[in-house]
Amino acid sequence: MKHDTPHQTFQPGVLRGRVTVAGDKSISHRALMIAALARGRSEIRNLNRGADVAATRDAIVALGASVHEVDGVVYVSGGKLRSPEETIDARNSGTTVRLLMGLVAGSGLRARFDGDASLRRRPMERIAAPLRAMGAQVTTIEGRLPAVVEGVLRPSGGTFNLPLPSAQVKSSILLAHVSATSAVRITGDLYSRDHTERMLRLFGAKIEWNGREVTYHPSPLQAATLTVPSDLSAAAFFLVGAAITPGSDLVLERVGYNPSRTGVIDALKSMGADLTIENQQEIDGEPVADLHIRSSKLHGVTIEGDQVVRAIDEVPVLAVAAACAQGTTVIRGAGDLRAKESDRLKTIAELLTNCGIEVEELPDGLRIEGGGARSPQGVIATHDDHRIAMAAATLAAVAGPIEIDNARVVDISFPGFAALWKSVQT
């Protein structure tokens, strides 16, 4: 990624109209993986087209699933997986590697996993430890990639306590138990995203959860048909852009409105955003709604506890909203953001500081003094982090032109972001 990274400049401007953002990345990963485990041919519509989900798609093919596409519908035939000869390269995608390590661990398979320089820096012990506890052999390089997983067939169930409220850890444990001989119970959650639970249910599993714990009774999975909702994490840039840019009025269509993801909506509403939820419905087990946002004056708030877990990927863009709000915003309990695609507490603080905002980096959060963002002097470093790039684009809507050092990094989750952004900007 380092060799060829054209810069891009985002401009100020009002956001108006209707927009449909990319398919949900988290749900897309799970749809592919669970379809690979299920017997029969599944049909997936509106799959996310980003590089992370492409890494999962290639990985399930390496694991023996067959995938083909006709007219935008992705067909996955699963149920007969094998150990791949080649290393599974998860590239930049934490969800790919962490969930697939679980899937391999519980399917009696053996696989070697690796990723790009950013993924090699990210912690994998949180996955390796529970998988070892269920009987798999997992080797890592001091808790980092590359890793080798040698699985067990038909593991016994049992109780696992999450070391942190992470959907990736929870999902890895669940996917490690699809062939288990008895129930698995997972405790220690704090409303982390429940897409794996919902997807397993859609594919026929008996599973219950309440935001704090999950109980899964494994039985064979059957192929399913589903349409992936638009990604609230992608919509969040448009929501904040419209909220902070006077004169904006935007509708985001058919966006995932799962309560384990709506921390960003709660936070924006508590800051004074003019946001209404329309056409609520459930599609293939996931809540979906249209989000209508108009610009308004925002004020600072404190964001902590389960609200942070439910908005974990939206902290960069919520920090942009805070920078444009009146008063102080404090974000706490977000220490795990230091272990994302970049150290997001550091990279957000750097972005906002460069745009004239007073920011204090806390060990587990940020204190942001709102008001008066301006165009930065030089080029903004994205640190090859897609969400930092899109947060910078969002801030440019009011602060003035912002040039980023890597126009391509948004392709991780949202190819076409810049064109779509421009199409609603006047």
Q: Which strands sit side by side in the sheet containing 365-369, from one edge to the other?
A: 302-303, 328-331, 365-369, 358-362
Identify the residue whose tokens are 């969800």.
95
Choice from 136, 312, 323, 380 touching ligand S3P (CB under 6 A):
312
Give the nearest distance from C-beta 239 to ligand S3P in angstroms.
18
Choice from 46, 168, 248, 258 touching ligand S3P (CB under 6 A):
168
Check binding of 47 to ligand S3P (CB under 6 A): no
Cα–Cα dist 26/229, whole Å:
10
Stretch that binds ligand S3P, among 143-151, 163-171, 207-215, 285-293 (CB under 6 A): 163-171
Catalytic residue among 24, 306, 313, 411: 313
Stretch that binds ligand S3P, among 54-62, 162-170, 208-216, 314-322 (CB under 6 A): 162-170
Check binding of 393 to ligand S3P (CB under 6 A): no
**Phi and psi for 363 in degrees, rounded to 5?**
-55, -35
Site pattern 3..42 for ligand S3P (x: CB under 6 A): -----------------------x----------------
Stretch that binds ligand S3P, among 160-168, 284-292, 324-332, 348-356 (CB under 6 A): 160-168
Give the nearest distance from C-beta 402 to ligand S3P in angstroms.
23
Stretch that binds ligand S3P, among 166-174, 210-218, 346-354, 362-370 (CB under 6 A): 166-174
Concatenating the DSSP letter of every residue in 62-125 gives HTT-EEEEETTEEEEEES-----SSPEE-TT-HHHHHHHHHHHHTBT-EEEEE--HHHHTS--H
Within residues 177-236, the interface with ligand S3P by CB under 6 A covers 193
Cα–Cα dist 325/400, whole Å:
16
Check binding of 310 to ligand S3P (CB under 6 A): no
| Backbone dihedral region for residue 135 (phi beyond 0: left; psi -120 to 50: alpha; all else: beta) | left
Cα–Cα dist 307/264, whole Å:
8
Residue 292's CB: how many other CB atoms inside 10 A? 18
Nearer to ligand S3P, 170 or 292 (CB): 170
Choice from 46, 166, 179, 307 touching ligand S3P (CB under 6 A):
166
Choice from 63, 138, 167, 420 touching ligand S3P (CB under 6 A):
167
Stretch that binds ligand S3P, among 110-118, 161-169, 350-358, 361-369 (CB under 6 A): 161-169
Nearer to ligand S3P, 121 or 374 (CB): 121
Nearer to ligand S3P, 77 or 196 (CB): 196
* CA dihedral over 174, 68, 230, 410, signed as positive or negative: positive
Give the nearest distance from C-beta 284 to ligand S3P in angstroms.
17
Residues sharing a CB contact under 8 Å with residue 8, sequence separation 6 or more, in sequence order: 403, 404, 407, 418
Residues sharing a CB contact under 8 Å with residue 54, sequence separation 6 or more, in sequence order: none
Is 313 one of the annotated active-site residues of the chain? yes
Give the nearest distance from C-beta 313 to ligand S3P in angstroms.
5
Q: Are strands 214-217 and 184-187 parallel, antiparallel or unpaired?
A: antiparallel
Choice from 58, 313, 350, 385 touching ligand S3P (CB under 6 A):
313
Q: What is the DSSP letter of 147?
A: E
The alpha carbon torsion through 163, 165, 168, 169 (nearest 10 deg) reads 20
Nearer to ligand S3P, 35 or 167 (CB): 167
* 3-class SS of residue 209: strand
* Alpha carbon 366 to chain centroid, angstroms: 21
Within residues 333-372, the interface with ligand S3P by CB under 6 A covers 336
Give the nearest distance from C-beta 168 to ligand S3P in angstroms.
3
For residue 229, give the nearest of 168, 192, 282 by alpha carbon.
Answer: 282
Choice from 95, 295, 347, 394 touching ligand S3P (CB under 6 A):
95
Stretch that binds ligand S3P, among 16-24, 35-43, 72-80, 165-173 (CB under 6 A): 165-173
Nearer to ligand S3P, 101 or 167 (CB): 167
Cα–Cα dist 241/393, whole Å:
9
Give the nearest distance from C-beta 261 to ligand S3P in angstroms.
10
Spell out a b/e string for 363-397, using b for 16 or more CB atoms within 10 Å of the CB, else e: eebbbbbbeebebbeeebbbbbbbbbbbbbbbbbb
* 3-class SS of residue 172: helix
Which residues of this chain interact with ligand S3P, rule CB under 6 A?
Answer: 26, 95, 166-168, 171, 193, 312-313, 336
| Residues with catalytic function | 313
